[in-house]
Amino acid sequence: MVAQLLGLAFLYLTTSLLTFTAYAVEIQHNGEVVYQDTSVYGVVGKAVILECGPTLPDMYIWSFTKPGTEGIKAVVYNMGQGPRIQKLAATLGQLTLISKSASVSIEKLPLAAHGLYTCQAFYNIEEELIVYYYNVHLTVRVPVTKPFLLMSDASPVEGSTMWMRCNLENGTGPIQYKFQHETRSGNITVFAQGNSSLINVTDINRNHTGWYRCVASNAVNSESSNRLWLDTIFGPDVPQIDVTPYSITERGYSALERETVSLLCQAQSNPASQYVWFYNNSQVYTGPQFTIMKILRMHTGDYACLAQNTYLNTRSKKTISLTVYYPPDGSPSCSVEPALNHTSMRLLCSWPGGFPSPSLLWTGDLMHAGQDQGDPGLQTNPLTRNDILLPSGGLTSNNSLFTCRGSHPALKQLTTECSTRTYIPPAEPVCFAYVTNNKQYLMLSCSWDGGAPKAMVWWEGPGGQGKGGEENSNILILRYGSAHGGKPYTCHAKHPLLVQTKTCRLTLEAPVLLTQRRVVSVYEGSDVQLTCNLRANYLPATEITWFNNQGVGVGETSKYRLLRTSAWANLTVRDLDETQDSGEYRCSTSNAVGGTEINVTLVVKRHPMPPNATLVRVMYNSRQRNEVELEWQVENEGHGGWTGFLLEHRWVSERPGRRGSNNDSKEQTEERIVRPIWYDNFIRDPDVRIHTVGRLTPTVTYQFRITPVNHRTIGHPSAEKTPAEPRYNVYPAVIGAAIGGMLFAVIVTVLLLVYIIRNRNNNPRLHDMLFGQQHSQSRENINFPEDDVVGGSEGGLEEIGGSSSTGPTMAFPRAASPLTTSPTSATPTTTSQAPPPGDDNEPVSVTITVKATSS
Ligand SMILES: *[C@@H]1O[C@H](CO)[C@@H](O)[C@H](O)[C@H]1NC(C)=O
Ligand SMILES: *[C@@H]1O[C@H](CO)[C@@H](O)[C@H](O)[C@H]1NC(C)=O
Ligand SMILES: *[C@@H]1O[C@H](CO)[C@@H](O)[C@H](O)[C@H]1NC(C)=O
Ligand SMILES: *[C@@H]1O[C@H](CO)[C@@H](O)[C@H](O)[C@H]1NC(C)=O
Ligand SMILES: *[C@@H]1O[C@H](CO)[C@@H](O)[C@H](O)[C@H]1NC(C)=O
Ligand SMILES: *[C@@H]1O[C@H](CO)[C@@H](O)[C@H](O)[C@H]1NC(C)=O
Ligand SMILES: *[C@@H]1O[C@H](CO)[C@@H](O)[C@H](O)[C@H]1NC(C)=O
Ligand SMILES: *[C@@H]1O[C@H](CO)[C@@H](O)[C@H](O)[C@H]1NC(C)=O
Ligand SMILES: *[C@@H]1O[C@H](CO)[C@@H](O)[C@H](O)[C@H]1NC(C)=O
């Protein structure tokens, strides 16, 4: 711009001077030489016109004075004969005269043409001579050449000082210098200008970076240098860290777990920074952008970016703290708990873990709490738990639903929730009592569960016995025996949803035992059942224990059978034996309030001695002497019962040949072989009177005897008899007929008896008439205490048991079943049998009574 202006000024100057030289001369006529001075500016190599007056003079002389010299030398003249150019003119460029004037044109001006040109012009020579001296000062100027820029340092460090110089070869002064700065973006500004070709730049900064060029200008022209790049070395500045996604808190940056976090570090530097990332002071990454895919909570910590300028070996660092937000695990957990001594409730909501703490908000089914009770204070707390107290006084209705919603920044928009209900236990409180196994403690249990929150349950009893509140259920433990009988133990139960307290009561009583009969009398060989029952079937179950006649507690054995329920215990004594099983049995029970026992006397009786029997006939039925037929009869058939007969025989002697065969020859004949062993032959039919014994040895003399048997009681054996020899052949037929008649009679009798026995309940009198009192006794097997006559029948068994003659074969069949299997037996056999019911037992105490009442 300036260059252009200067250029224009120069052109204007030259043209105006030319104009001046052409028209400003005025001719004087006083004879004096007129002097006129002008200045002409030329440029090397270009053309210039030097004027000598406006009109052609009659004569003129151009002369040249070199600056700094005195000498004046002619260049060209014209004395009227045409112009004469001097040799000197050749050194002043291509000099020519302009026709019809005295003006001189010089082309290709050399620098040597610079100087004073004087044109002496003579006018009007024929008349009055007029002389002009035209002094033309020619200035030859040199244009500026293309400058070149020099920098003391093309890569200065920020803060340092440098210089720039604009150099050029030629150019007429004064020369103006202009320094231009072109930024990277192409914005060109004038950085400095003046007449100095050198500028000092102090405190270089990064803004100085860019292209530089200089422009040199003089009166002739203006030239611009080539541009040079100035590269300021600087940095790194303190880095700037950009976290994406951007989320800043008072703690620093935050990120949500599992998202991708990108950390970008930028630090201004030339040359560009090298970046290194550190996590908690350990290097983790190299490069400007550190990206963490799926960031986790453990990535919380300090992240530092270190920027380095490797050229300057300088570095700078910035640290940020990044906190990773993570939600708590799972979902919130809700519960309701009683508060204010079970008059109110507190809703508990907790959701531990997570960072930062989640927000928890209770919303509730509060319309049930009463008609529009308003907002009872549901609030959000940025805590891991949010507990609120509900108003007391039964304002919350049964079965209300409350929901706690949890939200957390790391869960975005999702909320998770939990809910809880409050309700009254569905049933009434339940009370019951029980005893520990070892009978050390009595437990009174009260429970009222199923509510939310749990109900409070406590015991109050007589004598200060009680127990403080517990939730849902409460067991009052009393030392066995320390409980108070007859007075109620009260269980109180309180639920926050109910204003009133519920109660249930237990009243303890001592047990009372009953038995059907205190004395039980039974024939031996049978089974008997002793009964014992509680007067009332109360809780807790008091166990009944039976002790046998030895005072030993009985269990289930082959001897005893124990049937037990909570209400009764029946002891069956099997296969009664007179000596072993008679005695006092004891049934016992107790509870926490008291104990009791009851004695039952068991009398086991022998069956009465059967009547005596006599052998009326003992005879071989053939000459072979190997079978003997016996017949006997029972004495006093009306008295005493019998169930069968024991028919025995033994060897008395063996004779070499047949000798005397006398009925009475019992013991005397041959003493040498006496076998005192009785061979048994048991006849189970009490109605049989004839029996044949076979497989006898013909050469042996036998003795036979018969003994009636009544169950286990064995009667007196009859007198022994030796069989007689058979007689006529007619005899057997007669006897046979007689026996046949007898048998027929017997069969008819048996059928009648069977009928009567089967129908004895319908026909008791006929029954009694036929069997009499003794049969009745043996049949029913029981003597009631009132009509019993114990004793008298002793000895029979003892006698037999003690007899030395019985020996090892005396293993006697047992009473009950074997003897009763005979289908023709008219004698009813004994079986264990319950005594007829009687009311003769007074209550002897013992039992626990528990009455449960609730309100
Ligand atoms: C500068 O001037 C000198 C002397 O007048 C001359 O010899 C030279 O060629 C010029 N240089 C340029 C670049 O014009
Ligand atoms: C160039 O620089 C000047 C002065 O600094 C400024 O006003 C102008 O807006 C810049 N132009 C561009 C294109 O940057
Ligand atoms: C530039 O600095 C040098 C020395 O550092 C001094 O001689 C010179 O005069 C200074 N020039 C300008 C224009 O300040
Ligand atoms: C560089 O230029 C910018 C904008 O033109 C300015 O804000 C900054 O301060 C300058 N820097 C220095 C070191 O002068
Ligand atoms: C990193 O530092 C933070 C804050 O000092 C600490 O909480 C975190 O446990 C550290 N992490 C590791 C992996 O050391
Ligand atoms: C709690 O309630 C029970 C029965 O309602 C009462 O006996 C007890 O004193 C109360 N306790 C307190 C601390 O209020
Ligand atoms: C309370 O609500 C529960 C659950 O619906 C129900 O079983 C119970 O009977 C209710 N109790 C009362 C007193 O309404
Ligand atoms: C046990 O005796 C009781 C009477 O005390 C009676 O009611 C019950 O039926 C008997 N049980 C058996 C199995 O006989
Ligand atoms: C039965 O016989 C025995 C001995 O043989 C005798 O002592 C007893 O008196 C007899 N009994 C009767 C009732 O005759």
**pLDDT at residue 760 above 90?**
no
From the CA of 419, how far away is ligand 6's center (Å)? Answer: 29
From the CA of 462, how far away is ligand 6's center (Å)? Answer: 19
Give the Å distances, CA to CA, from 439 to 443, 479, 509, 562, 845.
Answer: 10, 9, 16, 21, 19
Give the Å distances, CA to CA, from 546 to 75, 568, 586, 844.
Answer: 176, 11, 6, 15
Q: Which CATH class is domain 2-141?
A: mainly beta
Give the Å distances, CA to CA, from 46 to 41, 95, 220, 364, 821.
Answer: 11, 12, 11, 106, 175
pLDDT band at residue 255 under the 50/70/90 scheme: very high
Residues 6+ away with beta carbon under 8 Å from 600 = 515, 517, 518, 519, 520, 530, 532, 584, 585, 586, 587
Query: Using CB atoms within 10 A of its CB, is residue 342 exposed (0-12), middle (13-18) or buried (19+)?
Result: buried
CA distance 133 to 195: 38
| Contact between 536 and 512 (Cβ < 8 Å) | yes
Residue 539: name the closest of 613, 612, 593 by CA.
593
Handedness of CA 555, 558, 559, 560 (dihedral sign): positive
pLDDT tens digits for 515-557?
A: 988 999 998 888 999 999 988 866 566 788 999 999 999 988 9
- SS3 for 426-438 is CCCCEEEEEECCC
Instruction: Report the Cα 161 to chain-centroid distance in Å.
Output: 73
Average pLDDT, rounded, for the chain = 78
| Contact between 263 and 297 (Cβ < 8 Å) | no
Fold of 513-605: Immunoglobulin-like (2.60.40)
Residue 14: predicted pLDDT: 38
Residue 568 in contact with ligand 8 by CB distance below 6 A:
yes
Q: Whose CA is nearest to atom 4 of ligand 3?
A: 200
Q: Whose CA is nearest to atom 6 of ligand 5?
A: 301
Mean pLDDT score, 619-647? 87
What atom in ligand 4 is closest to the CA of residue 158? 13
| Contact between 170 and 111 (Cβ < 8 Å) | no
pLDDT band at residue 203 under the 50/70/90 scheme: very high
Q: What angle do CA 278, 282, 283 make, to 5 degrees?
A: 55
φ/ψ of residue 661, rounded to 5:
-125, 75
From the CA of 853, how far away is ligand 7's center (Å)? Answer: 21
Residue 423 in contact with ligand 7 by CB distance below 6 A:
yes
Which option is the CATH number for 613-656+670-714: 3.20.20.80, 2.40.50.140, 2.60.40.10, 3.90.850.10?
Answer: 2.60.40.10
Q: Whose CA is nearest to atom 14 of ligand 7?
A: 398
Q: For residue 678, give the 3-state DSSP assignment.
A: coil
| Contact between 576 and 527 (Cβ < 8 Å) | yes
pLDDT band at residue 118 under the 50/70/90 scheme: very high
Assess whether the region 430-507 and the region 613-656+670-714 belong to the same CATH fold: yes
CA distance 69 to 675: 206
CA distance 148 to 169: 9
Residue 110 in contact with ligand 1 by CB distance below 6 A:
no
Q: Where are the beta strands (DSSP E) in 591-672?
A: 595-605, 613-620, 628-634, 644-654
Residue 622 in contact with ligand 3 by CB distance below 6 A:
no
Query: Percentage of the chain with pLDDT > 90?
Result: 41
Q: Whose CA is nearest to atom 8 of ligand 1?
A: 170
Quick one: which ligand is closest to 426's CA?
7
pLDDT band at residue 745 under the 50/70/90 scheme: low
Residue 829 in contact with ligand 8 by CB distance below 6 A:
no
**How does DSSP assign 681-693, residue by residue?**
EEE--TT--EEEE
**pLDDT at residue 752 above 70?**
no
Strands 252-256 and 314-325: parallel
Residue 226: predicted pLDDT: 94
Fold of 430-507: Immunoglobulin-like (2.60.40)
Q: Which CATH class is domain 240-325?
A: mainly beta
CATH number of 148-230: 2.60.40.10
φ/ψ of residue 611, rounded to 5:
-70, 160
Residue 728: predicted pLDDT: 57
Residue 6 in contact with ligand 1 by CB distance below 6 A:
no
Q: Whose CA is nearest to atom 11 of ligand 9?
A: 612
Residue 82: predicted pLDDT: 85
pLDDT band at residue 789 under the 50/70/90 scheme: very low
Residue 726: name the closest of 692, 769, 755, 759 by CA.
692
From the CA of 374, how far away is ligand 6's center (Å)? Answer: 29
Domain residue extents for the chain: 2-141, 148-230, 240-325, 333-422, 430-507, 513-605, 613-656+670-714
Q: Whose CA is nearest to atom 2 of ligand 1?
A: 170
From the CA of 439, how far away is ligand 6's center (Å)? Answer: 33
From the CA of 20, how far away is ligand 5's center (Å)? Answer: 92
Residue 629: predicted pLDDT: 92
Fold of 333-422: Immunoglobulin-like (2.60.40)
CA distance 134 to 35: 6
CA distance 141 to 127: 42
Lowest mean pLDDT among 335-339, 354-358, 812-816: 812-816
From the CA of 198, how far away is ligand 3's center (Å)? Answer: 8
**pLDDT at residue 149 above 50?**
yes
**pLDDT at residue 368 above 50?**
no
Mean pLDDT score, 341-352? 88
From the CA of 273, how far away is ligand 5's center (Å)? Answer: 27
What six digits make up the tokens of 389?
């107290």
Lowest mean pLDDT among 586-600, 672-686, 767-781: 767-781
What atom in ligand 2 is closest to the CA of residue 188? 1
CA distance 702 to 652: 5
What atom in ligand 4 is closest to the CA of residue 205? 13
Q: Whose CA is nearest to atom 11 of ligand 8?
A: 570
Residue 827: name the closest of 739, 708, 716 by CA.
708
